[in-house]
Structure 1
Amino acid sequence: MTSTHQAPFAGANALIFGGAKGIGRCVSLEWAKRGARLAVADIDEAAAKATAEEIVAAGGKAVGIAANIMNEASIAAAVASAEAALGEIDILMNNVGGMLNGHPEDIPMKEWQRIVELNYLGSARASLVLLPKFLARGSGHIVNTASFAGLYPYAASRVPYAASKAAVISMSQNLAVYCEPQGVRVSCLMPGPVMTGVMDSMTSWTEDCPMRGPGKETSLMLPEEVAVVLSDGMRDGRILIPSDPVAFDIVKRWAENPDAFIRAKIAEFAGGDRGNPVIPDAVKALIGGAK
């Protein structure tokens, strides 16, 4: 690998909350491949340690740590453990998130609050532990995971989720405006449809509520592909990093006439179009092999 490909990862210490499975696991492996040392933090400590062991077996340096992003003391302890194992943290990724499904009137307020606490405030909690340290030394990189659902309207079957991801995008952009002049970089990963296990633990609050997707312009991606897109975007100094650039083409259409865009979505769903993404043949083969 060239040094350009490795930067900003070669020799960096990275802490990933939600780094044990799915996109987080693949980002952990990708960053390690590019020369970073990893602290893999996850509520599933066994999975965090397994991902770390996979990195070590490939010749990298990593440690698996238990962490609950809903608890400030747990976050502080995870940061302390990461620093003890690796040294000063250079890159923080907030990748913890949860999903739900259902009509908004069927979703209890406690679930709205849980999703906001997990998807949005969880990222804020972890950032606030390391941000003062980054600013004090004039370097560091915060990476937050959002979603296409926070970029443009389609996720009518998971309104609290979409709202929380929109908040993450807004937070990331404003943090960039504040932090980058002080030497601290900020990036926001915005995945579209990705083949992960996130829906395996998803609660649906409305029976037979269709899961509405981002549209047939999008494609179902593998988490390994998303990890490469994120890493390349960070290397290139990008702030907003969609898993597929088609997201920005869609946002341009929304910006031209937001009302018309929203009404077109209403008509699509009324006509039975659920907004399912295209599934590439390579992904179909993997799905078939998993059955």
Structure 2
Amino acid sequence: MTGTNNPFADAHALLLGGAKGIGQALAHVFARRGAQVSVADIDLPAAQETAVSISEAGGKAQALSVNVLSRRSIADAVAQAQATFGPVDILLNNVGAILNGHPEDVPEQEWERIGELNYGAAVRGTREVLPAMLERGGGYIINTASFAGMYPYASTRIPYGAAKAAVINLSQNLALYCEPKGIRICCLLPGPVKTGIAASMTNWTPDAPLLGPGAALMMLTAEEAANRFADGIAEGRIMIASDDALWDIVRRWADDPDAFLHNRIGAVARGDLGVPGY
């Protein structure tokens, strides 16, 4: 793997959850910037389609099956990826799941499932590659979080927001530990991005609105978000937002968290659901 100006050149990137949405867009961007890409996903046909499209565009890619709920499955995916492209230089923990509903209506097993897919998967992926990266003294671990983990708005997606907040905390503390040892940590913070994740969303409360991060925010395509994230990785950033408006919102929250919460409660009561336009 070459220098930080282009960390993707000649690198081997393993993407857990790389077949669709932001993961798929990142697979293409990483490949265009010079990486050999292992696209791992529970949806193997979709991973194969992504790998084929990368190869047809002149990149190097392979598709792998993985179930991120299983440590053994992740270990197998890492071994298969390395058998083709060598040691994993870049790991992307991108698997996520979403739901909607009031907290009293969401079954306990759904709270656990959302936590395991959004946070637990990042822990398992990290633990699988970190020892070898520490031994080599280099590598990148990239975790996909969300605006929902940075400030309160997703009150009908509390298990998701809580899990993404855990991913953010995991990433920042990993950075404290790993960066002095030569391993770069990046936390991707997507805001409004057009993906198909909502198509698989279960709504546990039929009349619960889907609350968004703010009506004034930009709605990006997955490709636009992926390019912004890749630029941030190349710049050596740890916390990388798809829209830098995030930091203005977080500053308003930090100035007076109680006022921020009460303002949000009032906005929803007035019918402002915080959903950006397309």
Tell me, yes or no, whether TM beats 0.5: yes
Quick check: 1:110 aligned with 2:88?
A: no
Quick check: 1:173 aligned with 2:172?
A: yes
Aligned to 1:214: 213
Quick check: 1:193 aligned with 2:192?
A: yes
**TM-score normalised by the chain length of structure 2:** 0.98
2-side partners of 1:100 and 1:152: how far apart?
18
Contact 2:4 2:236 (8 Å CA) reproduced: no
Contact 1:6 1:35 (8 Å CA) reproduced: no
- Report which stretch shifted further, 256-265 or 211-220: 211-220
Aligned to 1:35: 34
Shift in Å, 1:217: 2.7
Contact 1:5 1:34 (8 Å CA) reproduced: no
Partner amino acid for 2:76?
Answer: A
Structure 2 unaligned spans of 5+: none
Partner amino acid for 1:56?
Answer: S
Shift in Å, 1:48: 0.6
Shift in Å, 1:278: 3.3
Contact 1:147 1:190 (8 Å CA) reproduced: yes
SS at match of 1:104: coil
Q: Where do residues 41-80 of structure 1 align in structure 2 (5 Å cutoff)?
A: 41-80=40-79
SS at match of 2:272: coil
Aligned to 1:121: 120
Identity of aligned residues (%): 54
Aligned to 1:159: 158
Aligned to 1:132: 131
Partner amino acid for 2:206?
Answer: E
Measured against aligned partners, the alpha-carbon deviations of 1:21-76 in whole angstroms (never above 9, x if no partner) come to 11000000001000000000000001111111111111111100000000111000
Aligned to 1:231: 230
SS at match of 2:199: helix
2-side partners of 1:265 and 1:171: how far apart?
27
2-side partners of 1:245 and 1:183: how far apart?
27
Shift in Å, 1:264: 0.2
Contact 1:6 1:34 (8 Å CA) reproduced: no
Partner amino acid for 2:245?
Answer: V
Aligned to 2:148: 149
**TM-score normalised by the chain length of structure 1:** 0.94
- Report which stretch shifted further, 122-131 or 213-222: 213-222
Shift in Å, 1:253: 0.3
Contact 1:191 1:243 (8 Å CA) reproduced: yes
Structure 1 unaligned spans of 5+: 280-291
**Distance 1:56-1:132 versus aligned 2 partners, 3 A rule:** same
**Distance 1:4-1:216 versus aligned 2 partners, 3 A rule:** farther
SS at match of 2:193: coil
- Structure 1 segments, 4+ long, off by >3 Å, are 3-6
